[in-house]
Structure 1
Amino acid sequence: MKLASYLKQLRVFYAVAINEKMTKAAAELCLTQPAVSHSIKELEDTLGCSLFLRVRKSLQLTKQGEILFNSCRKIFSELDQVENEIDLSKQNSSESFSFSATQTIVKYFLFDSLKSFVEQNPKTKLRIQSSSKKETLELIKNGEVDFGFITSPVPENLDNSLEFIELFTFTDQFIAADRFPLDTTKPLNWHTLSTLPIITLGKNSLTHRYQKELMAKAGYDLKTALECDNLDLVVEFTELGLGIGWVTDKVFSRVCQEGKRIKAINFESSFPLRSVVLVKNKYYPVSKAADRFLAFVAARGKKSD
């Protein structure tokens, strides 16, 4: 006998035992009385014993029926508890989510959206994992976070389970301390840049690789004076006057808001337009809370563009 069919018969038996009448059990289970009677008969045939005795106008359990009834009470109590735990888990998961991104993306692109979302959704549980672009893609592929954010260019030959959605754009920007000795009356060019101390992210970052390729296309090698773990350090060392910082226009805008003594450097060539990209796994649906947060981010992206 299939488990589902057996459980259905046990449900019918349990209802009859509690109500002591097939008519009441049938009404409770939304079944006909003949269907209830047939189910009890099949169960008795399967077990090879009678489960009820007719006493006056009610049904009383036999000794074997009492044994089965006590077991059913435990089984259905545990099943009800499991269902409640699953329902609670579903409610909790719908009000929580996790994502991965670099510190730079969180601070310079997502912070305002995060602040607004947390203020309006104080009960939502949020976990942010600070990871590199490569690590973020791996976490999403394995379902360890709900989604993530990276900057373009997107690496090639990635797992086809990943979905990429451009959110908002930005461009590269060179910056320098106000006191840095540089003639700003004319735009900086690649040749002059190659002779200056440049401050960038570390060589292992995909951003550094992109910057190196960009200079190579212009016919120059990227020779760095300092390589940092994050753009905050690039900004800090630039403010100290140690070199030319290679950041983004969004980073420079935030730097200006913070009142740092740093200036933007005009460059004679235009940079390729880049994007902050939302990455999701096609096979892992996100929660309602995550959808609400992504709506905040998308709205912020439209506003900034």
Structure 2
Amino acid sequence: MGNSRDLYKENFSISFESYKVFYHVATLSSTTQAAEVLFLTQPAVSKSIHNLEAELGCSLFNRTQKGMVLTEEGKILYKYILNAYNSIMIGQKKLWQMINMENGIIRIGTDEMTVYFDLLPKLEAFNDKHPKIKMEVMSYNRQGLIRGIKDSEIDFGVVMLEDEKFENIEIHELNAVQYSFIVGPKYKEMIKKKWKLNEIVQYPIISLEKDMSARKHINDYFLANGLLFHPDIELTTTSLIVPFTERNLGIGIVAKHFAEDSIRQKRCYEINVSPAIPDRRACVLNGKKQSISLVAKQFLSDIFLD
């Protein structure tokens, strides 16, 4: 019993190279052909098989005129080595594909506004260059996104920030996000003058629900100017503000990017309000202590090179 345990402990350290030689000899039934594939000499291959048999304590091959024929013990070992070798080769191929951007996945956390404003065109450009890369874009609130980064659920987050800081999180600014006051055709005459903020509050206002970060930004803007913000229409998504405004339901407050097409097609109009709403920052967040995939690193590199 003691000898059996000692043998197992000794064999546990047999190198992958020994099993690699065994695999090729068993597959080709020839030490000469295996040597050619492995770029070794035939004596070196024969010696490797001999040493492996000695370490395992049994014969793995019968040497016949037709070549190297597996023994019953050899067949058992080959069955498992075959599966292991194929798995290793598949893993190596997958890794090569990831390195060469032919396989892999990017996991991104974001919020609705950032997807529309900045992330979607960058995902489109990256997909054009690397169509075989899969993408997972998940919606998070701010606390959930930070947790997702630290727990490695996502590679990085792309969100709107003001002056926030987060422990063990790196912040990289992409660009500034401008906000606009917009009106529908019914209020088109409002574009002819410059409005003060305290005049605007006399009109119905369309904004986001109070729990959203973009809404907090607007709340802070009003408070900084001595006013409380009480919109008449509160919406769950930023993308609804423009169509509600186009139908003359009130003055919309929205990231300008969302309204650009509507303004260009004269379905709504931007009005001049003083003081202007401060810009926000579109930022990439990633963990200082978390490692991300090569694919994700390439995506970030493309973002900041653009």
User: Could you tell me the TM-score, scaled by structure 1's length?
Assistant: 0.75
Q: How does 1:1-305 map to 2 (within 5 A)?
A: 1=10, 3-5=12-14, 7-11=16-20, 43=52, 46-48=55-57, 66-90=71-95, 91=97, 94-153=103-162, 155-156=164-165, 158-160=166-168, 162-180=169-187, 183-257=190-264, 259-282=265-288, 283-288=290-295, 291-292=298-299, 295=302, 299=306
Q: Which moved more, 1:30-39 or 1:130-139?
A: 30-39
Distance 1:265 1:4, change over 3 A: farther
Three-state SS of the structure 1 residue aligned to 2:90 is: helix
Three-state SS of the structure 2 residue aligned to 1:80 is: helix
Q: Deviations over 1:95-128 (max 9, x none)?
A: 5423232333222333444444444444443333
Instruction: Note if contact 1:100-1:128 (Cα within 8 Å) is conserved in structure 2.
Output: yes
CA RMSD of aligned residues (A): 3.8
Distance 1:193 1:70, change over 3 A: same
Identity of aligned residues (%): 26
Structure 2 regions of 5+ residues with no counterpart?
A: 1-9
C-alpha displacement at 1:280, in angstroms? 2.8
User: In structure 2, what is the Cα distance between the partners aligned to 1:7 and 1:112?
Assistant: 46
Aligned residues: 292
Q: Deviations over 1:258-291 (max 9, x none)?
A: x242111212214333221122344232344762
Distance 1:39 1:206, change over 3 A: same
User: In structure 2, what is the Cα distance between the partners aligned to 1:104 and 1:137?
Assistant: 17
Distance 1:191 1:127, change over 3 A: same
User: Could you tell me the TM-score, scaled by structure 2's length?
Assistant: 0.75
Distance 1:14 1:220, change over 3 A: closer
Q: Which moved more, 1:16-25 or 1:168-177?
A: 16-25
The amino acid that maps onto 2:79 is K
Three-state SS of the structure 1 residue aligned to 2:211 is: coil
C-alpha displacement at 1:210, in angstroms? 1.9
C-alpha displacement at 1:73, in angstroms? 1.5
User: In structure 2, what is the Cα distance between the partners aligned to 1:226 and 1:135?
Assistant: 27
C-alpha displacement at 1:19, in angstroms? 8.2
Q: Deviations over 1:124-148 (max 9, x none)?
A: 4333334444444443333333333
Q: Which moved more, 1:65-74 or 1:217-226?
A: 65-74
Instruction: Note if contact 1:239-1:260 (Cα within 8 Å) is conserved in structure 2.
Output: no
Q: Which residue of 2 aligns with 1:302?
A: none
Three-state SS of the structure 1 residue aligned to 2:186 is: coil
Q: Which moved more, 1:268-277 or 1:83-92?
A: 83-92
User: In structure 1, what is the Cα distance between the partners aligned to 2:47 and 2:132?
Assistant: 50
The amino acid that maps onto 2:115 is V
Instruction: Note if contact 2:119-2:158 (Cα within 8 Å) is conserved in structure 1.
Output: no
Q: Deviations over 1:127-174 (max 9, x none)?
A: 333444444444333333333310122644x341x3221111122221
